[in-house]
Chain A
Amino acid sequence: MVRHLVGGHDGHMTNDTGILSAPPAPQPWVRSSRDARLGGVCAGIARRHHVDPVIIRVLVVLLGLSAALGVVLYAAAWAFWPDDQGGRPPIERWFPASTTWSVQRKRTLTIIASLICISTFGSALPFSLGPALVVLVAWRIARRQTGRASVVQPAAVPTIPQAPLSPEFGAAAYAWQQRIDTLEGRATPAPVAPTWTTSSWVTPAMADPLGIYAPTAPVPSQATRRSSRPRFVITLLVLLIAAGAAGLGYLTPNTEPAWRMAVAAALAVIAVALLIGARTGRPRMLIFLGIILSVVAVSPTAPLDVRFSGPVSQAYTTQASLPADYTVGFTDTTLDLSGLALTTDATLPVDCAASSLVILLPAGVRTTLTHEQVASTLTLAGQDTTAHSGTWTSGPTDNSPTLTLQLEAAGCEVTVR
């Protein structure tokens, strides 16, 4: 007897009675190269879980609003996952040593990057981790729905019509069974003496009426890939125009700083090229280049003239009101201690990130400042210091109470006076 096995679209195998057999092994995490919009990560996830890629893209955007967590996770998936055409993960192409990395190490790196991202952008975006919680709940609900769907799936899977089997299909099935029995060393019952004429040949439509084993979409050939070469020429042309625009932007009078106008001009050229390319075909690499220029265009670099919130002024006049830790991030802040009165020694740790901070010291109070700085400028009583760390003391030298400021600055412009 020939057993008919029908493969469902979800990879499950059902027999004649529609009973679900052993569940298949989980599909690997891969990037989809067929319907990719950016890196193919969302499309790969969607294909793995049999959902619309648009849903996954929306969830990733929501994650991106959660302290840019989606950006980190997307980048990690793009770097660590191979594509569905058998290509190696990008990180293995860049760092061949990473081929020996375990999954646990990759997860650890992703978690560390996520934590850094949360601590860096958590205060810059207004939504905190709220969108991430929404995504988590939506994902749990979707997984539960998917689980229910897989239980009822066998009844929904169409099966090959059972009876009567056509003689041609029976002959083909008999030959298949005979071949299997020969390979496994079993005796095969006598054939039903099929008549092998051309009229008994099994056509693909008869052998695969559901189209399960239909060939997949053809892979782009080498000739097709060659046809995309003119896009590189267009890319080079756009880059030349962008360089020219950057030069003109740099020479534009009354701009401060000039480099920002240059970057803005180059970015505008790339934007126009992408808008035109939406119709005529996207030039290569422009999105990647545009992202880099966007970060540079609004980056709070040396002139530190970019702020995410207005100026803040905080004054402390009593020792009891001093906080345990004073943190400054993405803002212009004045820490006014000029009216502070101390009865005993006090210590105030000050953490500053990507901000402009002015500290007004108390008059008549001995003050000790210990500082550690990264990519920052520090001005102590009108004197600039370039040391990465050090100790500075001011005020009377008697035995009066001492205020100790422990300053840690990253990407800051700190003035102490």
Chain B
Amino acid sequence: MTARPEQRRHLDVSSLLWGIVFALIAGIAGWMALGHHVDWSALRFTAPLVLIALGILGLVLSRPNH
């Protein structure tokens, strides 16, 4: 049995997800540095939801393509 040649370029899912997370954090930090208010009481609920959504995205993108 021979391996099928790779049809398309491999997508590094972990790199993609980390990039999104870092972009979000950089945005929040920049927003704070510009003197705007960050509602941390709301963020403590939305941040886990965003992480869960990113986890689901990672699971979907990590599925092997048959």
Contacts and interface: CB of A to CB of B under 8 A. Distances in A.
Interface of A: 37-38, 54, 58, 61, 65, 124-127, 249, 254-258, 260-261, 263-265, 267-268, 270-275, 277-279, 281-282, 286-287, 290, 293-294, 297-298, 305-310
A252 to B, nearest CB: 8
B3 to A, nearest CB: 11
A260 B16 CA distance: 24
Interface of B: 9, 11-16, 18-23, 25-30, 32-35, 38, 40-41, 44-45, 48, 51-52, 55, 59, 62
Contact of B26 (A37, A125, A297): A297
Contact of B23 (A265, A268, A278, A310): A268
A258 B35 CA distance: 11
A274 B15 contact: yes
B49 to A, nearest CB: 10
Given A260-B29, A264-B29, A270-B22, A126 B48 contact: yes
B11 A279 contact: yes
B38 to A, nearest CB: 8
A268 B33 CA distance: 14
A373 B64 CA distance: 54
Contacts of A281: 12
Contacts of B29: 260-261, 263-264, 267, 297-298
B50 to A, nearest CB: 12
A242 B28 CA distance: 17
4 pairs of A and B residues whose beta carbons are closest in the complex: A274-B19, A297-B29, A264-B29, A271-B22
Nearest to A293: B22
A306 B40 CA distance: 8
Contacts of B20: 271, 275
A255 B35 CA distance: 7
30 contacts: A37-B13, A38-B14, A61-B51, A61-B52, A65-B48, A65-B51, A125-B48, A255-B35, A263-B29, A264-B30, A265-B30, A267-B22, A268-B30, A271-B19, A271-B22, A275-B16, A275-B19, A275-B20, A277-B12, A277-B15, A277-B19, A278-B19, A282-B15, A286-B18, A294-B21, A297-B25, A297-B29, A306-B32, A306-B40, A309-B44
B23 A308 contact: no
The SS class assigned to the A binding surface is helix
Nearest to A296: B29
A54 B34 CA distance: 39
A54 B59 contact: yes
Given A307-B40, A310-B41, A290 B32 contact: no
Given A125-B44, A125-B48, A290-B18, A298 B26 contact: no
A78 B35 CA distance: 39
A298 B24 CA distance: 12
Contacts of A275: 15-16, 19-20, 23
A256 B33 contact: yes
A16 B13 CA distance: 45
Given A38-B14, A278-B19, A261 B33 contact: yes
B9 A279 contact: yes
A235 B16 CA distance: 16
Given A58-B55, A274-B16, A274-B22, 17 more contacts: A61-B55, A126-B48, A249-B30, A255-B35, A258-B33, A260-B32, A265-B30, A268-B30, A275-B23, A278-B11, A278-B15, A279-B9, A279-B11, A279-B12, A286-B18, A290-B22, A305-B32
A274 B12 CA distance: 9
Contacts of B12: 277-279, 281-282
